[in-house]
Structure 1
Amino acid sequence: MIDSYIYVIIALLPLAALILVFQVNPYDALIIRAILGAVAALVYAVLGAADVALTEALVGTMLAITLYVVAVRSSLVMRLGIVKGLDAETDSGFTKLISKIRQTIDKYHLRLELVEYPNKQALEWALIGKEVHAICSKSEQLEPDSEPTYQASIRVHRLFEIMQTDLTSSKITLTYITVPDLEGKH
């Protein structure tokens, strides 16, 4: 007869699966998925299926979670192109802007990657060539002593929506641009 502790362990499977379904943060979901795989491997081992338990532990838990981590880590990034020389040491307004962008995209579990380009033309070509998701540059100042303003062009509509709702400042102008798909058309 199966001991009562096995029922408790088996009850953890649907509970962990239910918790997994309702996760918003992808990293938390990966942890719950690993726990689900470990519990399943434990159940298989207790029920006498050592080969299935070993396969679940190695492939279903360790390998799958490792691959998921790599996929999630590489896909949840916003690449922001900037002109080289526009940095924290020379421009405190830019530092505040980057901090605000990071704070905004952190809510969606994205990370910000700054990509530097030598000039504004290279920056615009990077956006058109889909090397970056958005570009940010300093706007031309009409008055020499005024606070700098920035122009951001975003080619991903969802990122534009996120930025538009959270970056409401007179110091930045957001623009959504559509980039034609140059590769698929012959």
Structure 2
Amino acid sequence: MTDSYVYIITALLPLTAAMVVFQVNPYHALIIRGILGAVAALVYAVLGAADVALTEALVGTMLAITLYAVAVRSSLVVRLGVLQAAEPQGFQAWVEGCRAIFSKHYMRLELVDYPNDQDLHQALNEKEVHAIYLPQNHAAETVQDQALIRIPRLYEIMQAELTSPETTLTYVAVADLAEAKV
């Protein structure tokens, strides 16, 4: 009965693993993943496997967390293609609204400038950007500014939370982009 602390420490493994799986915020999940690795290293050390504990601490925790942090940081960027010369009235307010919405979902908005409509559409078609913003004078079929979005989840988020009567949101599958060109 003197080794009951081992059972308590071992019980922390599935508990922290469940916390990682059900965590919504990716940065919090990274921290909990670090705790999971530390608990696993502690269990290995207590059970007499010092070499495995050291490997878990160095590779399984420190290296993995660093790589995961880089991957999470780069995957939470929404790239919006815009025309270099065009900055229509209300564009800055629309961008700030997008930034506010995306920050609630732990994402960042990055604006990417393109010189003309063709390059803008090509960037969306080649998946260089997640969405493009077309001012009304560049979208002949509409009298409003238009945002074409190729990621369904981004479209759902923006449609549900962005309230801008000056801008029309349109989901465009990559296969449909040839038809969406102006």
TM-score bracket, normalised by the shorter chain, equals 0.7 to 0.9
**How far, CA to CA, are the matches of 1:164 and 1:32 in structure 2?**
32
> Is it true that 1:76 corresponds to 2:76 in the alignment?
yes
Tell me how large the CA RMSD over aligned residues is: 2.5
Unaligned runs of 5+ in 2: 177-182
Match 2:164 to one of 157, 166, 169: 169
What TM-score do the two structures reach when normalised by structure 2?
A: 0.83
2:174 equivalent in structure 1: 179
- The within-5 A match list for 1:67-146 is 67-86=67-86, 93-140=90-137
Q: Identity over the aligned pairs, expressed in percent? A: 64
**How far, CA to CA, are the matches of 2:77 and 2:147 in structure 1?**
17
What TM-score do the two structures reach when normalised by structure 1?
A: 0.81
Deviations 1:88-108 (Å, cap 9, x if unpaired)?
xxx672221111111222233
Aligned-residue offset at 1:73: 1.9
CA contact (8 A) 2:94 2:164 kept: no
CA contact (8 A) 2:77 2:108 kept: yes
Aligned-residue offset at 1:2: 4.0
2:29 equivalent in structure 1: 29
Unaligned runs of 5+ in 1: 142-147, 182-186
- The within-5 A match list for 1:45-64 is 45-64=45-64
CA contact (8 A) 2:150 2:174 kept: yes
Q: Which amino acid counterpart does residue 62 of structure 1 have in structure 2?
A: M
Higher mean alpha-carbon deviation, 66-75 vs 42-51, is at 66-75
Q: Which protein has the bigger helix share?
A: 2
**How far, CA to CA, are the matches of 1:179 and 1:14 in structure 2?**
41
Aligned-residue offset at 1:140: 2.7
